[in-house]
Amino acid sequence: MSKFKVSVIIPLYNASEFVKDTLDSVLNQTYENIEIIIIDDNSSDDSFNKASEFQNDNVILKRNIDKGACAARNYGFELSSGDYIQFLDADDILSQDKIEKQVEVLDGSQTELAVCNTVHFIEKLEEGNCVDQAYVYSTPHPEEFFTNLWGGNILPMHMIQTSAWLTPRTLIEKVGLWNEGLAKDQDGEFFARIGLQCSGIVYVPEIKNFYRKHNTGENIASKKQRKHIESLLLTTNLKEKYLFDKSKSKEAKKAISTLYKWVAMESWPAFPDLTEQALHDSKRLGGSDFSPVLGGKVIEILKNVFGWKFAKWISYYGHLLLKND
């Protein structure tokens, strides 16, 4: 099985505190035929120096000056030579046999994707929480997988983190690299595009991807400037196209409608025009009853009594007042 080479591509930006643990988790994999490609995106801390301590014949370290994580991943792909690609964020960790087990189940396939569960943690792996068990499974019908993931059935919408996947090189070459024009949900767009062109998804339940959660608001997932919300709206437009090219079932329409409802809620009240645009698209597909928890007990009462817009308005401006106090 080791005849298949795996390229682990790591975009690196100001992750000095975590990059050693991440690299150790790759170097300690039970699978041996691995190359590691680290692309530093103009880090202002000592991330590059920390990563340089790991350089050898199988660890490539390059700089990619301030072009973003997508460009770093694309540069890493250009430098790579693996049959399979493991995209890995510089603060996340792979279970020791993650790559071996996924290569084993793919067994040379260049048309399928391998996936595993993700454990969300803050500091200690053993204190992490896995919440995606109901969403991750093997199927020859990727359109059903993404429909379920995006809230098209009885489950609420969810996500699968970047590092959970193992992707065949030729599938990426066929479908295309990361979209460098996106400011948010780049991974959601990439794996929707890749996944909905694959021939099947293969789940390996005994391995794990460990996703480090941050409470600083500095990671991309926390960003909510206008360019980030516009990017969410664009990625939802693209996901609609990718899914509807495969299925226009009522469940698929519900899934995309739910994604638009989520964008509407993310943009309110800061960008009401984007909210209305997203709600229009959600209603175009039949509307959605998506209603996530917006805050504590008081906010939830306000949501239930006066609606989510009022509750988010109170939460948003209350936060601004406290921040400026």
Give the pLDDT of residue 224: 86
CB 256 within 8 A of CB 143: no
Which domain-ending residue is among 220, 243, 277? 220
Residue type, position 8, single letter = V
CA-CA-CA-CA dihedral for 82, 86, 92, 97, to nearest 10: -90
CB 288 within 8 A of CB 256: no
Bond before 205 cis per omega within 30 degrees:
no
Give the pLDDT of residue 222: 61
Segment 114-153, tens digit of pLDDT: 999 999 999 889 899 999 999 999 999 999 999 999 999 9
Which domain-ending residue is among 177, 196, 220? 220
3 state SS of 49 = helix
Q: Across residues 153-177, what is the average pLDDT?
A: 97
Quickly count: other Cβ atoms within 10 Å of residue 229's Cβ.
23
Q: Across residues 224-229, what is the average pLDDT?
A: 94
DSSP secondary structure string for all residues of 164-199: G-BEEHHHHHHH----TT-SS-HHHHHHHHHHTTSS
CA 6 to CA 4: how far, in whole Å? 7
**Is there a single domain that holds both residue 302 and residue 273?**
no
Q: Across residues 189-218, what is the average pLDDT?
A: 91
Q: What is the domain count for the chain? A: 3
Q: Is position 37 within any domain?
A: yes
CA 138 to CA 142: how far, in whole Å? 9
Which domain-ending residue is among 220, 240, 274? 220
**Is there a single domain that holds both residue 207 and residue 109?**
yes
Q: Which domain holds residue 325?
A: 294-325
First to last CA, the chain: 60
**Is there a single domain that holds both residue 189 and residue 269?**
no
Q: Across residues 64-69, what is the average pLDDT?
A: 84
Band (pLDDT 50/70/90 cuts) for residue 321 is low
* Highest mean pLDDT (candidates 44-48, 52-56, 122-126, 234-238): 234-238
**Is there a single domain that holds both residue 16 and residue 89?**
yes
Segment 25-48, tens digit of pLDDT: 999 999 999 999 999 998 999 999
Give the pLDDT of residue 96: 97
Q: Is the pLDDT of residue 324 over 70?
A: no
Segment 277-297, tens digit of pLDDT: 999 999 999 999 999 999 999
Contacts of 104 (CB under 8 A, 6+ apart): 1
Give the pLDDT of residue 65: 79
**Is there a single domain that holds both residue 160 and residue 272?**
no
**Is there a single domain that holds both residue 163 and residue 239?**
no
CB 130 within 8 A of CB 119: yes
Nearest to 35 by CA among 15, 64, 65, 62: 62
**Is there a single domain that holds both residue 249 and residue 121?**
no
Q: How far lies 24's CA from each of 54, 118, 129, 306, in Å?
A: 9, 18, 22, 50
Tokens of 103: 């290569």
Q: Is the pLDDT of residue 216 over 60?
A: no
Q: Which helix (H) or strand (E) holds 59?
A: strand 59-63
Q: Which helix (H) or strand (E) holds 69?
A: helix 69-79
Tokens of 95: 């279970």
Q: Which helix (H) or strand (E) holds 93?
A: strand 93-94
**Is there a single domain that holds both residue 205 and residue 260?**
no
Q: What percent of the chain has pLDDT over 90?
A: 87
Q: Is position 124 within any domain?
A: yes
Q: Is position 122 within any domain?
A: yes
